[in-house]
Chain A
């Protein structure tokens, strides 16, 4: 089983619908992230959380919300989906990045969302 699991892997929805993307991890990491990837635009940070009580906005948080339900779970919601939110979404985790730790991001397999 993958260490960082995203559900659903693919989702097609209509404009105005509420969508939730879920992420769970078994790596024991404190830090979790949601990124969005569009062709030619690289990875853009939506939200991140450094522990259960910590939520921070990233570069492109408008239209999105998140919930950190537990250390291992971090969900992303689109309250009212719009077509320009069609993208590939990645959840990622990392350790604290202290000492010799690289601070490497470990990514889930991605959730492809299409908003019609």
Chain B
């Protein structure tokens, strides 16, 4: 079993709708959780990080963490075509040491 699992997609969402991306992890000692966005042919860039159970909102993005269920998700409200990218979930035992990445979910926003 891979340590960090994501549905590879592709996930297609109409413009203006909510896109929901999910990630599960196997290491219960994980403490830091990150969502990176990667456009085709480009390098990943951080869009959200979360350390505590619950929700964290930043503009149109909300990260949700449930450590008991070992589950982290990313919601994108009012999806825009520019949100079309691959979203990588990353998990670390503490701070930024040795992030383990999921395989990524490819998201397509349909105009």
Residues of A within 8 A of B (CB): 31, 35, 40-45, 48, 58, 90, 94-98, 101-105, 107-110
Contacts and interface: CB of A to CB of B under 8 A. Distances in A.
Contact of A41 (B36, B45, B94, B103): B103
B43 A109 contact: yes
A110 B42 CA distance: 8
Give the dominant DSSP class at A's interface: loop
Interface residues of B, number: 25
Given A102-B49, A104-B49, A105-B46, A97 B96 contact: yes
B5 to A, nearest CB: 10
Contact of B95 (A40, A58, A103): A103
Given A103-B97, A110-B42, 15 more contacts: A35-B101, A40-B8, A41-B103, A42-B101, A42-B102, A42-B104, A43-B44, A43-B88, A45-B99, A48-B98, A102-B96, A104-B46, A107-B43, A107-B44, A109-B42
A44 B98 CA distance: 10
B92 interface: yes
Minimum-distance CB pairs A-B, first 10: A103-B96, A97-B95, A107-B43, A97-B96, A42-B103, A43-B101, A103-B95, A42-B101, A94-B96, A104-B46
